[in-house]
Amino acid sequence: MKILITGGAGYLGSVLTPTLLQQGHEVTVLDNFMFRQNSLADCCQYSTFNIARGDAREESVMKPLVAKADIIIPLAALVGVPICNTDQIATQTTNYEAVNMLCRLASKDQRILMPVTNSGYGIGEKGKFCTEETPLRPISSYGVTKVKAEEEVLKRENSISFRLATVFGMSPRMRVDLLVNDFVYRAIYDRAVVIFEGHFKRNFIHIRDVARVFIHGLNNFEKMRGKPYNVGLDDANLSKIELCEVIKKHLPKFVYLEAPVGEDPDKRDYIVSNARVASTGYKPEWGLDRGIEELIKGYTILKNSLYSNI
C-alpha cells in the first residue's frame, strides 16, 4: 500500500517507517526535522521510500501528498505535557487543527490510523480499569488536543485510533524524557531519582509493540475500523514507585526517594484495560524487563540530554 506518515522522523516514526518498508509498503514521510535528526537515513536505500520536508499544518503541502496515499498515519504532534506547555498555539494547531484538516482532505475511501494517548482518561477511579467506554477527562493541553483529534478521526468511520500507553524503548530518534526511559537513564548515570507523587499509576508499552499494532491494524482493518483501542501491557499498570522497584532489579545500586512536597506537572493517574485490542488477536512481545535491558545497552551509547524532547 501507499502510506503517508506525517512526523515520520520522530520517536515513533523512526521505528514505524523502516518496519513498514520492510513489509513491502511504499512509504512517504513528511517531517519538519525540528530536532535536526537523521533517524531515517538508513531508509534511503529503499526505492519505495519518499521524503518531504515541510509542515503538516500547511494545506498546500498536505494536499498533493494526501492525494497519492491509500493509508494516512498522522504522527506529527507536540508530544507530552512539558513541550505542549511551552507553546500552546503550536500544540493546538499541530495536534488538533492539522488532523482536522487531514480529515477534510482525505476521501472516504482513504484509511487513517491515528495514534493518540490514553492520558485522555485523566484521573481514573481507584481500582477501576479504564476501557474504551470510560469517559475521557483529559487534564492537560496535550490530552485535550489529542482527544479532540481522535473525535475528528473516528467521525470518518474508515479510521482506527490507538490510545497508546506511555511508550518506552530505544529509537533512532531517541527521547530520554519519557518516564521509563528517563528513570532508567537516571538509574544509570545519577544512580538516584526523586519522585513526586509516586503513587500515581499509568500503563506502559514498548515502541516496537506500537509499530506492531499499526501493522496489525493494517492487516485487520475491516474488523477493527471505526473504534479506538487501548494499547499497553496488561502487567504494567504501575505506579512510579513500582516502576522504580522493577528498574532496581536490573540496576541494584539505584536509589529512589519520594519527595514529601512537590507536584508532578503530569497529573494523570489511572489503570487501563487492553482487552479490546487483545480480542482482535494482538499481543505485545516486549515486556518491561526486556525493554529495560534494551535501554541499559542503549544508554551505553547515548549519554547526552540532546536526545530529549525538551
- For 12-32, write each residue's pLDDT tens digit: 999 999 999 999 999 999 999
With a cut of 90, say whether residue 102 has pLDDT above it: yes
Whole-number pLDDT of residue 305: 63
With a cut of 70, say whether residue 306 has pLDDT above it: no
Question: Residue 274 burial by CB count (10 A; 0-12/13-18/19+): exposed, middle or buried?
Answer: buried
Whole-number pLDDT of residue 197: 86
The strand pairing partners of 71, in sequence order, are 3, 111
With a cut of 90, say whether residue 283 has pLDDT above it: yes
State pLDDT tens for residues 159-180: 999 999 999 999 999 999 999 9
Closest listed residue to residue 272, CA positions, set 117, 146, 160: 117
Q: What is the mean predicted confidence (pLDDT) over 105-119?
A: 95
Q: Which three cell numbers stand for residue 145?
A: 488536543
**Among all chains, which residue has been given the C-alpha cell 518516564?**
179
With a cut of 90, say whether residue 125 has pLDDT above it: no
Residue % of the chain over a pLDDT of 70? 96
**Radius of gyration (C-alpha) of the chain in whole angstroms:** 19
pLDDT-derived band of residue 261, with 50, 70 and 90 as boundaries? confident
**Among all chains, which residue has been given the C-alpha cell 499481543?**
283
More confident residue, 110 or 140: 110
The structure's pTM equals: 0.94
Q: What is the mean predicted confidence (pLDDT) over 177-193?
A: 95
What is the distance of C-alpha 191 from the center of its chain?
A: 27
Say if CB 21 and CB 27 are below 8 A apart: yes
Could you tell me where the beta strands, DSSP code E, fall in the chain?
2-6, 26-31, 49-53, 71-74, 111-117, 129-130, 159-164, 166-168, 192-195, 201-206, 228-231, 237-239, 255-258, 271-272
- Tell me the C-alpha distance between 264 and 82, whole Å: 11
Say if CB 201 and CB 123 are below 8 A apart: no
Average the pLDDT over each of 76-85, 151-160, 255-264, 281-290 and give the range with the smallest value. Answer: 255-264
Domains belonging to the chain, first-starting first, are 2-237+265-307 (3.40.50.720)
Number of neighbours of residue 125 by Cβ within 10 angstroms = 11
Q: Which helix (H) or strand (E) holds 61?
A: helix 59-67
Say if CB 137 and CB 146 are below 8 A apart: no
Question: Residue 22 burial by CB count (10 A; 0-12/13-18/19+): exposed, middle or buried?
Answer: exposed
